[in-house]
Amino acid sequence: MSRMAAFLIDAVIITVSVSIIAWTVAITQSLLQLPALAELLSLGGLFPDFDSLLAGLVGTTMFALYTLFFWATTGRTFGKAFMGLRVVTTNGRRLTLPRAMVRLLGYLVSALPLFVGFLWSLIDDRRQGFHDKLAGTCVVYTWAARPDERFLAYQLQRLAPRLDDEE
């Protein structure tokens, strides 16, 4: 569930970014009284729904650049960082750009058959989806301890003086 939440956080970030870019372009065109970019690029009406196509291409490109940049530099996107996750190679090292690209292309493999490749991580012993297996990566927790583990450690530490007194 934490991987899904991280993905949704990243999707919101990318959607907001694309919306801001589209809004900025539209305002600039309006202020400068320029014809709409879609009208210029629609090739005389050959592509009547060019706005949707352009938005999809920009969104996909932003997603690819966003994930590749952060996977290759820090091993995690903002969503993964927020959820305490990091993508590493199976031997624990940081991803290289080529490996990050293979993992990103593996997202297509994981998504095509009804997202089975993503769901596979729920039953895999190492929690790897098809894209992870293809790229030789895995997602690990980066937090030192989850809240329940910190609570237990605190309680044991609090009880330690009492246990020493009883001996």
What's the mean pLDDT when you consider all of the chain? 82
Band of residue 154 on the pLDDT scale cut at 50, 70, 90: low
**Are 40 and 47 spatial neighbours (Cβ–Cβ below 8 Å)?**
no
Tokens of 54: 């352009």
**Other Cβ atoms within 10 Å of 151 Cβ, number:** 11
What does the pLDDT average to over 117-132? 91
Q: Among 31-35, 42-46, 163-167, where is mean pLDDT lowest?
A: 163-167
CA-closest candidate to residue 36, choices 44, 25, 48, 46: 25
Query: In the predicted model, is pLDDT for residue 89 greater than 70?
Result: yes
H/E segment holding residue 138: strand 137-141
User: pTM for this structure?
Assistant: 0.74
Check the CA dihedral 119-120-121-123 and report its sign.
Answer: positive
Which pair of structure tokens corresponds to residue 138?
């895995």
Question: Which pLDDT band, with edges at 50, 70 and 90, does 113 fall under?
Answer: confident
Among the ranges given (27-41, 52-66, 123-137), the one the predictor scored with the smallest mean pLDDT: 27-41
Residue 51 in tokens: 């706005």
Among candidate residues 95, 17, 103, 20, the one with its CA nearest the CA of residue 61: 17
